[in-house]
């Protein structure tokens, strides 16, 4: 199939597929006239690459992962997933705090025990405070 159809099926512009080919993470065959010929397998590979990119995995790492032994690939992707889950938890807690603060009836937010508790919990778990051993940068 032509690159335009493959790009539509993957959900990316055609230039992205060309870039992935240039970066060595996707290798469609060539037809007469040097046109790219994408098979269903190429489209499936491109979908996986697209999902990995959406997950924040760079093309250099994707290239390495494609040729890595399964155990190595599993360890790297699990570590990335764990970092994403921790960030998702942090963002969910921040959203809860913002919703509470938006509806907080205390005239001064620092008079609210829930607001203070959130700030203390966030300070204790922030990368800055755990790295330096203090709550201040």
pLDDT, tens only, 24-42 = 999 999 988 889 999 999 9
Compute how many other C-beta atoms are within 10 angstroms of the C-beta atom of residue 6: 22
Reported as a pLDDT band with limits 50, 70 and 90, residue 120 is confident
Measured distance CA(64)–CA(57) in Å, rounded: 11
| Helix H or strand E segment including 47 | helix 40-54
pLDDT (0 to 100) of residue 44 = 97
Measured distance CA(23)–CA(17) in Å, rounded: 10
Q: Are 85 and 99 in contact (CB under 8 A)?
A: no
As given in the structure block, the two tokens for residue 94 are 């921040």
pTM equals: 0.69
């Amino acid at each position: 199939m032509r690159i335009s159809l493959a790009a539509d099926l993957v959900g990316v512009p055609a230039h992205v597929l060309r870039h992935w080919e240039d970066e060595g993470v996707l290798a469609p065959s060539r037809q007469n006239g040097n046109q790219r010929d994408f098979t269903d397998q190429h489209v499936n590979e491109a979908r996986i690459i697209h999902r990995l990119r959406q997950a924040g995995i760079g093309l250099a790492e994707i290239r390495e992962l494609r040729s890595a032994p399964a155990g190595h690939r599993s360890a790297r992707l699990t570590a990335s997933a764990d970092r994403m889950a921790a960030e998702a938890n942090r963002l969910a807690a921040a959203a809860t705090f913002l919703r509470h603060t938006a509806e907080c009836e205390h005239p001064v937010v620092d008079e609210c025990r829930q607001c203070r508790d959130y700030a203390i919990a966030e300070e204790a778990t922030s990368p800055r405070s755990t790295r330096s051993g203090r709550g201040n940068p």
